[in-house]
Amino acid sequence: MAGLPDTLPASTVMNLNVIENFLRRHRHADIIEAVVDTTWANDAVVPFLNLWAWKVSDKARLDDAARKVSETGDPGFWYDLLDEAGSLTFEVEVGAHYPDWPAGIAAGDATILARLSALARPHLQQTSGQLRVVFHHVDAWPLIEIDARDAAQNLHGM
């Protein structure tokens, strides 16, 4: 993988095939959510990229719900409008992208966003705006939306 040392064990490098398969399998979802979360293993914090596919129950209220989360910090406004269509949790380890966790989060996020954008772009183009791909850390807001033009933007509303 470009930009990563050749000596990294395969288990520490983000498995792009797993992410690509998830995107393909859930191409009919309304939202793909990529969330960095952590777990404790071998006396260290280990970051993972968790994925969810969502169907939106009330698209007309989604922008308002995102704004309310930004204002209140309560993600319940957002998740109340979503129905889970699939998930993949604690299978995509991303520790290699965050070697100085938590101090190096911005650099790790940039790498993950670049790779996620490259994988998501064809799916976003095929769905003509019907699919949205968002990224964030667990319990962190605003979301970052990945769009078909290879741009990422912070969202206070979608």
* Residue pLDDT, tens place only, 72-91: 999 999 999 999 999 999 98
| pLDDT number for residue 65 | 93
The beta-carbon contacts of 140-144 under 8 Å, at least 24 apart in sequence, are: 141/69, 141/70, 141/73, 141/75, 142/66, 142/69, 142/70, 143/33, 143/66, 144/113
Beta 31-41 vs 132-137: how paired, if at all? Answer: parallel
| pLDDT number for residue 13 | 55
| pLDDT number for residue 30 | 95
pLDDT in tens, 29-40: 999 999 999 998
- Going from N- to C-terminal start, the domains of the chain cover 11-155
Closest CA to 95 of 82, 105, 81: 105
| Residue bearing tokens 């933007």 | 153
Model's pTM, two decimal places?
0.84
The side-by-side arrangement of strands in the sheet containing 44-56 is 82-88, 44-56, 31-41, 132-137, 143-146, 152-155
Within the chain, which residues score under 70 in pLDDT?
1-14, 149-158
